[in-house]
Amino acid sequence: MAAAARLLPAVALALWSGFPAAVSSRRDALELGDADFDYLATEHETMLVMFYAPWCGHCKKLSPEFEKAATRLKGTVQLAKIFRNGRDSSPYDGPRSADGIYHSMKKQTGPDSVPLLAEEDLQTFTSHYDASVVGADGSRLPEFLRAAALLRDQFRFAHTEDLQLGREYGATSEVVLLFRPPRMSNKFEDSVVVFKDFLTIGSLRRFIRDNMVMKMATKYSRRGLTFSVANQKDFLSELEDEFGLGTSDGGGLPLVTIRTHLGHKYTMREEFTRDGRSLERFVEDFLAGRLKRFIRSEPVPEKNLAAVKVVVAESFDDVVKAGDKDVLIQYPTIYFAPVGKKDEPIRYEGGRELRDFLAFLKKEASHRLVVGGLKAEL
């Protein structure tokens, strides 16, 4: 195939839709030039198009992943590489791996909103791993379907003309029901949330966003906190090893922990309350710096008067990092933490005799070293 005259300076992916039938190619991902594109546009219902230049490093990295995804999607979604500038299309913002492309494009097959005809359809649709949005028939259903077309990449949509399907969830008139994932079920939140406001694309998007997670997550999302929910049974060892929480803690209530990007860990000791106030106090105390870090540690010695102090994890900051004294500490490697540079300790690599330590300290100590009876040896 002859190369086209126009090449993109970098790789770009775009989703094309609105085409019926199929074309054959020796490869599962078609390779096309300018002359082929208009013909192709009448042959496929849904297509992911990769615009690329052969000399582009990003293109070369993506190309084998694109080919793998094309093979897995064969017969459902056509993938094509185009040697030309594109025209208006929907940008592809998904992952760039074969698995990511495959799963993203699988979402593009089928209707924007799945029609539900029976109770069994509703149960099957709402038992999904992710949240499910279901619209009931009414004057705003066309607007719901338009929202589904625009938001299908982010959420799962279905609709029904039978209000009886949603009656047990409060669908007594035209409403939208948000079904939280069964895996997120808990006694502190309703499994189904009803939207009864005037339906627009914007109002529906806000409703879904605000109710996909607990209100606390929505409230603090802009303050640098990321919230997640997990099953305790799946993380028993991590809770015990990392946070000191066992199966008896919480008494069946949620366990709440915080881990920072520095690896600092905090556990919520107050009992979790349904109104969320205990959780809010925990988060506010964390943001205000009032929480004490959890550190797995031996007990701090009640008496620690010997010349060589015993340091445990809980007393490390007070003994080693704080204060106005240089510290030589062994655990098991020996480090010297001088005053003013406690965050830049020096690794001791000298001998293990007394005179070796004294010579090192004489050189590195922040204050003049005075050692009775050993001056001659130094």
Tens-digit pLDDT profile for residues 81-102? 443 233 334 556 667 777 876 7
- The second-level CATH assignment, the architecture, of 30-109 is 3-Layer(aba) Sandwich (3.40)
- The second-level CATH assignment, the architecture, of 306-377 is 3-Layer(aba) Sandwich (3.40)
Of 114-128, 181-195, 272-286, 295-309, give the lowest mean pLDDT range: 295-309
Which carries the bigger pLDDT value, residue 285 or residue 42?
Answer: 285
**Which residue type occupies 40?**
L
Checking if the pLDDT of 245 tops 80, the result is no
Q: For the chain, what percentages of helix, strand and coil (3-state, to nearest 5) are there?
A: 35, 15, 50
Which carries the bigger pLDDT value, residue 254 or residue 377?
Answer: 254
Q: For 112-136, write each residue's pLDDT tens digit.
A: 899 999 999 999 999 887 888 998 7
**Which residue type occupies 336?**
F
Mean pLDDT, to the nearest integer, of 242-265? 76
Nearest-angstrom CA–CA distance, 153 and 286: 35
Which carries the bigger pLDDT value, residue 31 or residue 281?
Answer: 281
Which carries the bigger pLDDT value, residue 244 or residue 357?
Answer: 357
Q: Give residue 196's pLDDT band: very low, low, confident or very high (50, 70, 90).
A: confident
**Which residue type occupies 228?**
S
Q: Give residue 11's pLDDT band: very low, low, confident or very high (50, 70, 90).
A: very low
pLDDT value at residue 286: 92
The answer to whether 29 and 23 have CB atoms below 8 angstroms apart is no
Q: Read off the tokens for 234.
A: 């799946």
Residue intervals of the chain classified under CATH 3.40.30.10 are 30-109, 114-212, 306-377
Between the CA atoms of 32, 38, 43 and 46, what dihedral angle is there, to the nearest 10 degrees? Answer: 80
Checking if the pLDDT of 236 tops 50, the result is yes
Specify whether domain 114-212 bears CATH 3.40.30.10: yes
HSE-up of residue 230 (Cα within 13 Å, Cβ side): 12
Phi-psi region of 4 (alpha: psi -120 to 50; beta: other; left: phi over 0): beta
Nearest-angstrom CA–CA distance, 339 and 355: 22
